[in-house]
Amino acid sequence: MTPVLRFAPSPNGLLHLGHAFSALTNESIARRLGGRLLLRIEDIDIGRSRPEFVEAIRDDLAWLGIRFDGEIRRQSEHFDDYRRAAERLRERGLLFRCGCTRAELSAAAGLDPPRDPDGAPLYPGTCRRHPPPLERPCAERLAMDVAGARASSPLFWTAFSDNGEEERRADPSRWGDAVILRKDVPASYHLAVVVDDALQGVTHVVRGADLEPATDLHRLLQELLGLPTPRYHHHGLITDAAGEKLAKSRMSEPLRAHRERGTSPAEIRRMFGFAQNPTPST
C-alpha cells in the first residue's frame, strides 16, 4: 500500500517559517517512504478563512518547490461529510446539544477551572443537565464519559520517527465534552481532521508537536466512527529569537517576507537541514 501524507494549513493568514518546516518535513518523509503528499486546505472557519490566503499558500508552497499529488481538498466544500459523521455519533447517543455562549462558559468556569490541553476550561456539563430549547442555536458536544465507555480501553495510537515506532496511550478524557459540531458551522477541527484523513486514505500524519495532545481525541473519534487510524509523527516547533513558537496570532514574520528580502528556497531548505529538491520546479 502506498503511504499517503498530507500538509493541512488553515488559510487564515500567511504561512510562516514554522509552516515551511512542517511542509518540508512532510515532503522529506513522503519521499523517504515513497509515498504521496496531499494538500488539504482547512477552511471550516469560514469567518476567518480568506481566498487570498489560499492563493498565497499555494504560491508559497510552489515557491518552496514542494509538489503535491492529486486534487486539493478544501474542507469548506465538504460539510456534508462532517454532518454525516456527526449523525453516526448522534445515532449512538454520543452527542448532546449545547447552547452555552462564550460569556456563560467563562462565568461558569470560575477562577481556576480544570482545563483541556489547549487551555480552555473543561465543559461544566450545563446543557447535559438542562437541555436547551430546540429553537436555540446550538453546538453539539461529545458526551466524553459515554464515548470513553463505548471505546476500547486502553486506547493506543502509534508514533513513528527515525528510531522506529512506539505505542502511545490515548487519554481523550482530558478534552472533556469536546465540541464536535460548532454553532456557526456543521464541523469542528477535530471531526473534520479525522473524517478527511480517512476519506483521503492518509496513512502517516506529520504535524507540529502542539497538536500531539489532540491525537488522543482523534484516536477516540476514529474508534467511535469505525475509521482507520494513521501513524503519527509530531515534529518540533520552530521558535523565534525570543524562544516563542511562531504563530499567525503573534504576527510571526511571513515566509514571503524572507522571499522578498531575497532568501532563496534552497537557503530555507538548508536552514532546516533538508536536502535540495532534486527536481526543483521553475
Cell numbers at 110, concatenated: 470560575
Is the Cβ of residue 49 or residue 100 nearer to ligand GLU in the bound state? 49
**Choices 8-16, 27-35, 53-61, 138-146 (CB under 6 A): range interacting with ligand GLU:** 8-16
3, 4, 10, 147: residue in contact with ligand GLU (rule CB under 6 A)? 10
The answer to whether the bond into 3 is cis (omega within 30° of 0) is no
| Residue 269, φ and ψ in degrees, nearest 5 | -60, -45
Is the Cβ of residue 24 or residue 98 nearer to ligand GLU in the bound state? 24
**Choices 3-11, 120-128, 147-155, 229-237 (CB under 6 A): range interacting with ligand GLU:** 3-11
Does position 269 interact with ligand GLU (CB under 6 A)? The reply is no
d(CA 113, CA 122): 7
Closest CA to 94 of 104, 85, 106, 103: 85
Does position 33 interact with ligand GLU (CB under 6 A)? The reply is no
Does position 234 interact with ligand GLU (CB under 6 A)? The reply is no
Taking the complex as a whole, the smallest distance from the CB of residue 168 to ligand GLU amounts, in Å, to 16
Taking the complex as a whole, the smallest distance from the CB of residue 129 to ligand GLU amounts, in Å, to 33
Does position 190 interact with ligand GLU (CB under 6 A)? The reply is no
3, 9, 124, 186: residue in contact with ligand GLU (rule CB under 6 A)? 9
The amino acid at 187: A
* Run of H or E residues at 233: strand 231-235
DSSP 163-176: TEEEEEEE-GGGG-
CB 66 within 8 A of CB 27: yes
